[in-house]
Chains A and B, each alone.
Chain A
């Protein structure tokens, strides 16, 4: 074996990741200082894109909306934890339930968006039909902000609950059986056991899910593109704004400034994640 052998094995991966990940991640910062459209040569404009960005109401609205989507995280965590605890206490049929809960997870977002767009349709949708049976007037699921945010969050919950349930099951599987048995012998009820023993031990899993769910929420795009295409930009999210600027108006420099803001936000989430992991030892 030559000394160079390990590098040969590593080379293709490094070339791909450097070319398509690391370099673009640096380029985005550079682009954000340019007046850059696909059609003409680029010029350096310093902080101009950021000055425009911070004065753009659509930027602030989409940023706010993206943060609002993070509110889905605690709901998702609660629901998926409850599901995981229930599934775990089942003697039979766990596989069947896991399969059912996983169908939404593997469904392409475009198709999920299409289905829910019909369910939420104002006059013909089945959601308003069920509400009408309860004599509740039509809800403007897809046409009235901020109801639109809630509708899209419901889709996120529908798609995500099964996924996070699996991660909770993975976390629960790491807890030694003796710990649980000991607490039950000590006379703890199932609720005491859950709240005083299991949940504290699940802290790493809770942090992990909190971070990935929040990061996913702030990057939301496809659901919005499919479900509320006609909504004003101020009712959409940060990536919708980036897409509009870069690929509909071809203002790549300005779009890159949006990208940099998004990058800084997701990096700070990762930083929090790393800090919390270090803290636990």
Chain B
């Protein structure tokens, strides 16, 4: 009975894992298919005549390289701003006592209840007025800082023992040095978690870049891919190859930083 139960669990989990992974294999297989095999019925799971033209095709037929670079710029800048500004704010909220601290903390937490989808209209007019419409800066700035990041960094700074702060003050370091040299290095796991959250969030973000970006040379990968479905009406092959290319960085980053990602989810879930 015990053994039967264990076997059942493993079978169930394996089935689940198959369902989770199979669509990716289908995507990968499609990306190597030639035209004649694409709509073959019954569908072939492993391409009989694997071709790589789809990959070279997507690079040449659309400015895919530019989409890629744009996505990297958006993700890198967002990560930099988010980690820097959240750790400054988290440090302040965790290590100082000052007038209005609770008010500011409450304000920051409250912003987590404002859905992106609700504020895109006023944000669009804001970005328009700031002359940032159809620019990567317009995509980056509005969501560069989010309440969750500050919340997470505050927790990280709260967990540092008082003695370390006192030792630093004894050595006569300034507040800025205390933050940068003494404490920030101790929050590395949280910074790593915030980095991967921001990366996955901005890399996959769609609605806001779709609203802001108008010219193809400014498209991010997601906006570019969605526009390809429109123009290459049935050219599955290029879209498949493009999707594979766009997903590879996410999988690589995730596999290398899975530990921090899971830690971040645990922190978020136990708030």
Which residues of A line the B interface, CB within 8 A?
A: 1, 3, 5-7, 9-10, 12-14, 16-17, 19-25, 27-28, 31, 38, 82-83, 86-87, 89-90, 97-104, 106-112, 114-119, 124, 126, 129, 158, 161-163, 166-167, 170-171, 173-174, 190, 205, 208, 215, 219, 221-222, 225-226, 229, 239, 242-243, 246-247, 252, 255-256, 259-260, 262-263, 266-267, 270
Contacts and interface: CB of A to CB of B under 8 A. Distances in A.
A266 B118 contact: yes
Contact of A115 (B107, B145, B243, B270): B243
A110 B117 contact: no
Interface residues of B, number: 88
A148 to B, nearest CB: 17
B194 interface: no
A166 B262 contact: yes
B115 A252 contact: no
A239 B16 CA distance: 31
A221 B20 contact: no
Nearest to A133: B42
The majority secondary structure among interface residues of chain B is helix
B121 A108 contact: no
Query: Which of B26, B119, B222 gathers most chain A CB within 10 Å?
Result: B119
Nearest to B149: A13
B215 to A, nearest CB: 16
A219 B115 CA distance: 8
A108 B10 CA distance: 28
A37 to B, nearest CB: 11
> What 8 A-B pairs come out closest when comparing CB atoms?
A108-B204, A9-B92, A13-B89, A24-B122, A6-B96, A27-B122, A16-B145, A24-B119
A106 B19 CA distance: 15
Contacts of B41: 124, 129
Nearest to B23: A115
A28 B119 contact: yes
Nearest to B11: A86
Contacts of B270: 170-171, 174
B226 A110 contact: yes
B26 A106 contact: no
B121 A31 contact: yes
B23 A6 contact: no
A274 to B, nearest CB: 10
Nearest to A155: B23
Interface stretch (B46-54, B58-66, B245-253): B245-253
B221 to A, nearest CB: 8
18 contacts: A10-B89, A12-B88, A13-B88, A13-B145, A16-B144, A20-B145, A25-B122, A89-B6, A106-B250, A109-B204, A111-B243, A115-B24, A118-B236, A166-B262, A166-B265, A174-B270, A243-B207, A252-B121
Contacts of A129: 41-43
B91 interface: yes
Contacts of B147: 17, 21
B32 interface: no
B246 A108 contact: yes
B191 to A, nearest CB: 15
A222 B206 contact: yes
B181 to A, nearest CB: 15
A162 B254 CA distance: 14
A270 B266 CA distance: 20
A263 B265 contact: no
Contacts of B17: 97, 100-101
Nearest to A29: B122
Nearest to B10: A90
Contacts of B204: 106-111
B265 A170 contact: yes
Interface string B178-205: 0100000000000000000000100110
